[in-house]
Amino acid sequence: MRIIDDVKLDYNDVLIVPKRGTVPSRSLVNLNVQYNFVNGDLFRGVPIIAANMDGVGTFEMAKSLEEFECSVALSKHYTEQELVEYFNGWQKQRPIYSLGISESDVAKFAKVYEQTQPGRRIGPMMVCIDVANGYTDTFLKFIEDFKRKFSRTTIIAGNVVTPEMTEVLIMAGVSIVKIGIGPGSVCTTRKMTGVGYPQLSAVIECADAAHGLKGHIIADGGCSTPGDVAKAFGAGADFVMLGGMLAGHDESAGENIMRENKTYRRFYGMSSDTAMKTHNGGVAEYRASEGKTVEIPYRGPVENTMKEILGGLRSTCTYVGAKELGELTKRTTFVRVNNQLNNSLSAYNV
């Protein structure tokens, strides 16, 4: 047993220090980036990704977010035919295919890949190989085998929270490592297992490891405000993945629920009782649920939320003098705080 005595931080433990700059208006900030991956593929756009969760990673969400040049990691539970039709009809921002590590997951992907790749403009497909625990030998071997079979794919894989495992995954063929264990709004892994790592520190440390190998990372989970998204980019994240912040909208899966003349939408973690009953018939006897189900007040079209997120991010850039999103991490200094917000009038919100 050992204890790490160094201070590790979450997003709510810090603020970004403003700096003198020459950007006179938010409208002049460029949020688009271009990343070149080791396999020759590239990404162009705004590096915000909707999570591959039932309530977020939908075709409808992808259609709305492509207007903002953002991406969606599609739910892994769409059928083969649905995915083929969607991938062959995409227009602007390339969607991301999601899968687990079972044989059936690979067989389904192979069929979709065969029907969407040859002679088409989609080029190498971006794939999110998604497990809760990215530290197993089984996961690592799966990635190595998958990369050999589908060498033209750009692999996103996770989740991990330590620089050592980030490096291992990149050396195994992963282009983008997904960082985060337990920080999500409907994740209970930390409560159920005691396992995790403060998200801001995880992003800082894993970004440094990834960039040293010309790899990239996604900060996955822990963002509840536009300011948190800015902190993730400031900490070195190349992409930020959002779940709860994009749930409850028109584009989210699920029906509206009426309670006391108010409208809600259900949102749940992908390791929750709800998810496992929906997709696996229930929770297996050998495991416990590590997610929760909540009812979120209906938020209308996601367009409104995206404007808030991107507007806040542009404003952050002006406060530190970054003309482009790619400059933000170089111009970010964090200061530790005991309190971020003045909530004295929060009871009077309208």
Catalytic annotation, residues: 187, 189
3-state secondary structure of 166: helix
CA dist., res. 101 & res. 106, Å (int): 7
Task: Give the single-character DSSP code of 199.
Answer: H
Extract the tokens encoding 166: 């980030």
Rounded to 5 degrees, what angle do the CA atoms 67, 199, 192 make? 110
d(CA 312, CA 230): 8
- Cα–Cα distance measured from residue 249 to residue 251, given in angstroms and rounded to the nearest whole number: 5
Contacts of 227 (CB under 8 A, 6+ apart): 11, 312, 316
Sign of torsion, CA 88 68 158 55? negative
Give the angle 154-54-269 at the CA atoms, nearest 5°. Answer: 100
Helix (H, G, I), strand (E, B) or coil at 63: helix
Angle at which helix 302-320 crosses helix 226-234, to 10 degrees, equals: 50
Closest CA to 160 of 146, 145, 186, 139: 139
Q: CA-CA distances (angstroms) from residue 29 to 69, 165, 311, 321?
A: 15, 34, 10, 10
